[in-house]
Chain A
Amino acid sequence: MAWTAARRSARDRAAVAVDQNAVPDPSLVDLSEAQLVARCLDETPGAFDVVVERHRRSVYRLCYRFVGNHEDASDLSQEVFLRAYRGLRRFHGGSSLATWLYRITVNACLTRVTAKAPPVVSEPIEGLRHPADTRTESPSERLLREERAAQVRAAIAQLPAKQRAALILRMYHDMSHQEIAQSMGGSVGSVKANVFHALRGLKKRLDGGR
């Protein structure tokens, strides 16, 4: 009976914290990270929606770099936020919320790529667009740039999982070695070694592709 009551209570909390109408309270949008987490834990309606809104782009992009295609990146992003929601009570603010989310994302990605190797590296699918400013770029230049970017992504996708994670977080998400060590678990020294070996592996693969 107590168990049923606890589950019902959890369901009620979810209904409150994740507003089904998806219209976050405007007052939540300007809250600091700590305040927002506190509101989530206080079951404020729509608070977790704001967390998702703030971090969905970076989480998705990290997932995409790992798995190399939109569908899997989308599924992984959803999984990451679900894990974050479940574990929000264990977040004590020891690191930033972004770092904490990156940690969850890296774990989810490493689990995924280990279970489902090798990753699929797809070209842009229909309905996706490029953010690059193409006003000053000729079509052929743009084509070359995209081709080169796809080669680099494909080469990165072939790196060992931990090296790939360290390189992606360092190169494309501007995280410090310390933050990466926190996200991946391990020391700063091991992160540097992973980035170094990832760069050497990348060089070898890019040269091999020429």
Chain B
Amino acid sequence: MNPAKTLMWHLSPQVMLDLVEGARPDGAVPHLRTCERCRWQLEELRETVAAARTGQEIPEPSPLFWDHLSARVREAVAADTHPPRAWVSGISWRRSALVGGVIGLVIVVGAWQMTLGRRAPDRKAQEEVSVTSQMQFAENAADGQATTEGSFGFVADLAEGLADTLDWEVAEAGFTTRLGLVDGTVNELSSDERVELRRLLNEALAKPGA
């Protein structure tokens, strides 16, 4: 089979519309002479245009309607430029809700900023407070008096400590820790844990391609 015969480009919507509307004569498009499908489609479109023309008429309103429309427009334009109501009565409930929400947000953000401001200035003092807090929690725990408040404070301090060890500059690429931190952790392992760690490492290194 000859591929040139099977591969055929048909007329684009733009060209087809030009033909339907008479902007381009049929004779100016040689493709029409050879393509049955495009000829058939063109004929169909012309029939549709003729059918669409029958829908041209729409019910004509009463002659009085036009003056009525003009009067309505006149009133609407005049009302559009009426002085606004008192600003309080002019606020809709949606706008009120929006304003209320924004005010609430400002209060929350303000309170948060104040809290940060209170915590930020003295890093050393903060660390002292943190240590004191941990000691206090440890004492409370030992006494069996660990309170929810104490737990919360300890968790907060832990989070703060973790934050100190994180390298925030590369955090976007995935959290990481500082150099030397792994060595420190290994030193804190018990002898059994070290044996297990060694076994796991040897196992991993023994695998092909490791």
Q: Which residues of A contact B (CB under 8 A)?
A: 4, 7-8, 10-11, 13-15, 18-20, 22, 48-49, 52-53, 56-57, 60-61, 64-65, 70, 74, 77-78, 81-82, 85-86, 124-125, 127-132, 145, 148-153, 155-156, 167, 171-172, 189, 192-193, 195-197, 199-200, 202-203, 206
A202 & B48 in contact (Cβ 8 Å cutoff):
yes
Distance in angstroms between the alpha carbons of A200 and B16 in the assembled complex: 11
Q: Which residues of A contact B56 (CB under 8 A)?
A: 149, 171-172
Question: Which B residue's beta carbon lies closest to that of A46?
Answer: B74
- Nearest CB of chain A from residue B86's CB, rounded to whole Å: 12
* B88 interface hit (Cβ, 8 Å): no
B76 contacts A by Cβ under 8 Å: yes
The answer for the CA separation of A48 and B73 in the assembled complex, in Å, is 10
* Chain B: interface residue total (CB-CB under 8 A): 39
User: Once bound together, how far apart are the Cα atoms of A203 and B107, in whole Å?
Assistant: 61
Q: Is B62's CB under 8 angstroms from A149's CB?
A: no
Q: Taking the complex as formed, is B205 at the interface, i.e. its CB lies under 8 A from any CB of chain A?
A: no
Q: Which of B20, B52, B62, B83 contacts A11 (CB 8 A)?
A: B83
- Smallest CB-CB separation from B65: which chain A residue? A74
Identify 29 residue pairs between A and B in the complex whose beta-carbon atoms are under 8 Å apart, listed by A's number. A7-B84, A11-B81, A14-B81, A15-B78, A18-B74, A20-B74, A22-B71, A52-B69, A52-B73, A56-B73, A60-B61, A70-B59, A74-B65, A77-B69, A81-B77, A128-B59, A130-B57, A149-B54, A156-B52, A156-B55, A171-B49, A192-B14, A196-B16, A197-B13, A199-B45, A199-B48, A200-B48, A203-B44, A206-B48
Please give, as numbers and ranges, the residues of chain A lying within 8 Å of B199 by CB-CB distance. none
Which of A13, A49, A131, A196 meets B60, CB within 8 Å? A131
Q: B187 within 8 Å of A by Cβ?
A: no
**How far, in whole Å, are A26 and B71 apart by their CA atoms in the complex?**
18
B178-205 interface with A by 8 A CB criterion: none
Q: Is A148 in contact with B62, judged by CB distance below 8 angstroms?
A: no
Q: Does chain A have a CB within 8 A of B51? A: yes
Known: A7-B84, A49-B70, A156-B52. A64 touches B13 (CB 8 A): no
